[in-house]
Amino acid sequence: MSNEKPTIKFLILLLCLLVLAGCDNTAEQEDKANAQAREAQAKLAEVSAVLEKTQSEKENLETEIAKIFQQLEETKSGAVTVLQFYEKSKTQVDNLANERDTAVAEAMVAKEMVEELTGQLNDKAKQIREYEELVEELLTTIKELESTIEEMSKQSTEKTDEEVADGNNVW
């Protein structure tokens, strides 16, 4: 907007000079017109300098904007890479969580089986102790029976010997 004002002023000044040039002027007016023309040329030089400076700034800004857009694209690319890494990591974490849950469930089943087998083992150990006690009782009973049989055998032998002895006496 500031560049338009000097240009508009310059155009108005040139218009005034053209209008005044067509008139019959006196030397004083001619000097005045020449002064205005020099002033207009000075203004034109200023406007040209400002225009060149503005054009240079515009080019610099366009270069900076291009750099910013390039950085923005690089940032977008980096963000996409990070997002992909995040999604991949999230999937891995979810898989690990599922594996952990499965392992915990399997561990619980195994623990229940161990407890059940431990109970069965305790029952079998109890049965074995009962069988061992029964075997000991049976062994004791067998020894008692053997003892009784021996005594009966001795008594029977003594009786037979007595009968034989008694029988010899009878004959």
45-65 pLDDT tens trace: 888 888 899 999 999 999 999
Nearest to 34 by CA among 58, 52, 16, 53: 16
Torsion over CA: 68, 73, 78, 82 (sign): positive
Tokens of 66: 């291009």
- C-alpha span between 145 and 28 (Å, rounded): 169
1-35 pLDDT tens trace: 455 676 777 777 776 766 666 555 577 877 887 88
Which DSSP state fits 2? Answer: T
The domain ranges of the chain are 4-164
pTM summary value: 0.42
